[in-house]
Amino acid sequence: MIRIFQIALRNLMRYKRRTLLTSVLITLGLLMVILFSGLAGSFKEMMIGKITDSNLAHMQIHKKGYVSSMDTSPLNLTINQKGYKTLEKVLKENPDVEAYSPRIKLSAMLSNYTETTNIRLNAIEPKKEIKVCPNVSERMKFSGNQTSDILLNPGEIIIPEKLAAGLKIKTGDSVVLVANNKDGSVNGLNFTVAGIIESVLGPQGKEGYMHIKDAQSLLRMEKPEVIEIALRIKEFDKLDDVYTDLKSALAKFKNEKGKAAFEIHTWEELSPFSNIAKIIDLMTVSMKIIMIAIVLISILNVMMMSVYERVREIGTMSAIGTAPGKIMGLFLAEGLSLGLISVLAGNIIGIFGIYILNIYKIQ
């Protein structure tokens, strides 16, 4: 066997031009596959990061039935103070949970005293929210005395940029928010615009922000209640495992009817753009198959040329008593040796290419 590979390597060196051509084809094909996979993977991670780190978080916990009707921002499916403390204990006991943040989702009417429009708001605890969604401050344009570490204080509101442009609102302006509570009564409060927020992918990327205490006052909540708990895990690759653990932990809690009291969803279940991530994976696999097929066809063509060019050599080997199996083994050994060398070269160049792209980032 060793002797066959020695002869195969000698034959490869003898036909240098053909060997170089085939090797370059394999190396370039593998290089393209590695670079395309790296770029597609980076784009997917960037897209997921934009969604989860800016507003959605890795997972969300709600009262059972909220997600199915979340488009209407229902206020009758809140988590009371006792339920929040229970969930808080579960999250603190899980070592994979990095941070969590309570939220209140609501719809309201926003007025600049001359015009009025509807707005969807995300009421948050700023210090907890920035730990769950660390990139949320990057979307915000603050007034001169505001910092991204604070986000907003009680009595302040951050509104979407398109809404601000439509109503000609700028930071520092005074606005009025009017909202209905779960009993149907109306309440209004004055707020100062602390910042303007840019939109991101997804319906939740067009929401404004206010302090959770202001939302509880606006909705006239007698006791503190929340709509959802957004959470961030330490390692994103463990998303499915952490989701399974938390889902089983929450399944123990029942409501008055004996059914599950809470529900938990990952970002994939909450965002319509999770389908784009699946399309990217499918596209990556398809491109790999196409590129590999092109390379294999090229190699097959070159190897067939090699056989036809060496008909006399094959005849001579047969005439001196070389078994057909050994002749076939010799050609297979040549192909295998050439493939291994080319794959090694392609991997080295591909990894180096990815390293260069990581240094000189593509914007």
If asked whether residues 294 and 324 sit together in one domain, one would say: yes
Q: Look at residue 9 and tell me whether its pLDDT is greater than 60.
A: yes
Q: What does the pLDDT look like over 214-227, one tens digit per residue? A: 999 999 988 889 99
Q: Is residue 247 part of a domain?
A: no
Its domain, for residue 194, covers 66-80+98-234
Mean pLDDT value across the chain: 86
Q: Looking at 234, 262, 288, which one is the last position of a domain? A: 234
Q: Look at residue 205 and tell me whether its pLDDT is greater than 70.
A: no
If asked whether residues 71 and 43 sit together in one domain, one would say: no
CB 132 within 8 A of CB 232: yes
If asked whether residues 197 and 103 sit together in one domain, one would say: yes
If asked whether residues 174 and 137 sit together in one domain, one would say: yes
Query: By three-state DSSP, how is residue 215 classified?
Result: helix
Q: What does the pLDDT look like over 315-335, one tens digit per residue? A: 888 888 878 888 787 778 877
pTM: 0.78
CA nearest 247: which of 228, 227, 266, 269?
266
| Structure tokens given for 210 | 């206010």
CA nearest 62: which of 301, 297, 225, 211?
225
Position 204 confidence tier, pLDDT thresholds 50, 70, 90: low
**Lowest mean pLDDT segment, chosen from 44-53, 82-91, 166-175, 240-249:** 44-53
If asked whether residues 188 and 227 sit together in one domain, one would say: yes
Q: Is residue 270 part of a domain?
A: no
Other CB atoms closer than 10 Å to residue 185's CB: what's the count? 10
Q: Is residue 218 part of a domain?
A: yes
Q: What does the pLDDT look like over 236-285, one tens digit per residue? A: 999 999 999 999 999 999 888 888 899 999 999 888 778 888 888 888 88
Name 33's Cβ contacts closer than 8 Å, sequence gap at least 6: 287, 288, 291, 292, 350
Q: Rg of the chain over CA atoms, in angstroms?
A: 31
Question: Which pLDDT belongs to residue 39?
Answer: 84
Position 149 confidence tier, pLDDT thresholds 50, 70, 90: low
Q: Is 168 left (phi over 0), alpha (psi -120 to 50) or beta?
A: left
Q: Looking at 200, 234, 268, which one is the last position of a domain? A: 234
Q: Is residue 254 part of a domain?
A: no
Which burial class, exposed, middle or buried, applies to 78 when counting CB atoms under 10 A from its CB (0-12, 13-18, 19+)?
A: buried
Percent of the chain predicted with pLDDT > 90 = 36
Cα distance between residue 249 and residue 268, in whole Å: 20
If asked whether residues 169 and 305 sit together in one domain, one would say: no
Q: Is residue 258 part of a domain?
A: no
CB 29 within 8 A of CB 287: no
Question: Which pLDDT belongs to residue 21?
Answer: 80
If asked whether residues 154 and 298 sit together in one domain, one would say: no
* Number of structural domains found in the chain: 2
Question: Which pLDDT belongs to residue 6?
Answer: 78
What backbone phi and psi angles, to 5 degrees, belong to 108?
-150, 175
Q: What does the pLDDT look like over 131-144, one tens digit per residue? A: 999 988 888 877 65
Q: Looking at 206, 234, 262, which one is the last position of a domain? A: 234
Question: Which pLDDT belongs to residue 202?
Answer: 52
Q: Is residue 39 part of a domain?
A: yes
What backbone phi and psi angles, to 5 degrees, belong to 107?
-110, 145
